[in-house]
Amino acid sequence: MTAPFGTRLRQAMDKRGPLCVGIDPHAALLEAWGLGDDVAGLERFARTVVEALAGEVAVLKPQSAFFERFGSKGIAVLERAVADARSAGALVLMDAKRGDIGSTMAAYADAFLAPTSPLFSDAVTVSPYLGFGSLRPAVDAARASGSGIFALALTSNPEGGTVQLARGADGLTVAQSVLRQLAAENADAHPMGSFGAVVGATLRDIDAELDINGPLLAPGVGAQGATPADLPAVFGAAAANVLPSVSRDVLKHGPSVAALREASARFVDEVRRAIG
C-alpha cells in the first residue's frame, strides 16, 4: 500500500459511496438464509457477501466474534473473507474491538495491522477504555503499515453513556477526551486522517466536538432505528467524513447476490442525498 488508510478511505467513499456493510453471520441470519449454524454455513454466508459486495461498496466490516465462535475453522473462513474482499477492491475494517496494555495490545496490533498477518486488514476497531495511551501499539502499527483504527467514542448502545459521558478532572467527558486525542493523531493529514472514532448514528444532542479530521464510523443505521436522513443533524459539519455502517438491513436480502447489491446501492443513494 502506498497511501495511508485515511487517503484510501476518502477515495473509496468518493468513488463507491459512503457506506460500510457488516459481515455478521450470527445464527439467526444463517437460519434466515437457509444455512446451517456451522462452519459450512459460515463459509457460504461470508463468500456470498464478499461476492456480492466487495466489488461494490467502499468498506466491508467482518465481525470477528461470529467467526471466532467456530474456533480455528471459523478463523480460517475469516482469513479467506478478508483476503478475497481486499482483492476485489473493498477496504476491510475488522470489527474486533480489541483493547489491552503493553505487549498484549502489541500482539493484537500484529494480528490485524501487520502486513505479514493472515488477518491483515485495512483498519480495526479498538477500545480505549484502558486509557487512550494503551492504544499506542495499534496507532504505531497502523501508521507503519498504512492502515487505520476506529476507537470507540460515543457508541449507540444505551449502556455506553455510563462510561463515555463520565467526566474527568479536566471537565472533559471520556468520549471528548478520546476524540481530542484522535484529532491530535490526525493533525495535518490530508484529505483525511487514518485514526477514526465510532459514533452512533442513533445519538441526539451530542455534546462533543466531532471534527477530528478523520473518519467517523456510524453504526445504528437501519435496524437500530437511524436513517441516512438523520446523519446531518447528528454529525453536523463532520458529516462529510461519516461512514455509516449497515448490517441487518442489507444482509436480510441474502442469499441473493443481486438483492444484496440492490439493497446496498439503495443505502448509498440515500446517504449521498442526505449528506451530499
pLDDT of residue 220: 86
Q: Delimit the domains of the chain by residue range.
A: 5-275
The share of the chain scoring above pLDDT 90, in percent, equals 91
The set of catalytic residues is 97
pLDDT beyond 80 at 207:
no
pLDDT per position as a tens digit, 79-125: 999 999 999 999 999 999 999 999 999 999 999 999 999 999 999 99
Q: Reduce the secondary structure of 7-48 to three states and give it as a string.
A: HHHHHHHHHHCCCEEEECCCHHHHHHCCCCCCHHHHHHHHHH
pLDDT per position as a tens digit, 152-166: 999 988 899 999 999
Residue 136: how many other CB atoms lie within 10 Å: 15
pTM to 2 decimal places:
0.96
**pLDDT-derived band of residue 73, with 50, 70 and 90 as boundaries?**
very high
**pLDDT-derived band of residue 189, with 50, 70 and 90 as boundaries?**
very high
pLDDT of residue 150: 98
pLDDT beyond 70 at 181:
yes
The mean pLDDT of 220-231, rounded to a whole number, is 84
pLDDT of residue 85: 98
Quote the CA–CA distance of 28 and 252 in Å, as a whole number: 10
pLDDT beyond 60 at 195:
yes
For residue 61, the SS3 value is strand
Q: Are 125 and 95 in contact (CB under 8 A)?
A: yes
Quote the CA–CA distance of 1 and 211 in Å, as a whole number: 26
pLDDT beyond 90 at 146:
yes
pLDDT of residue 1: 56
The strand ranges marked E within 79-233 are 91-98, 123-126, 148-154, 195-199, 216-218
Which of the four CATH numbers 3.20.20.70, 3.30.530.20, 1.20.120.50, 3.10.20.30 does domain 5-275 have? Answer: 3.20.20.70
The mean pLDDT of 232-249, rounded to a whole number, is 94
Q: How many CA atoms lie within 13 A of 168 on its CB side?
A: 10
pLDDT per position as a tens digit, 10-58: 999 999 999 999 999 999 999 999 999 999 999 999 999 999 999 999 9
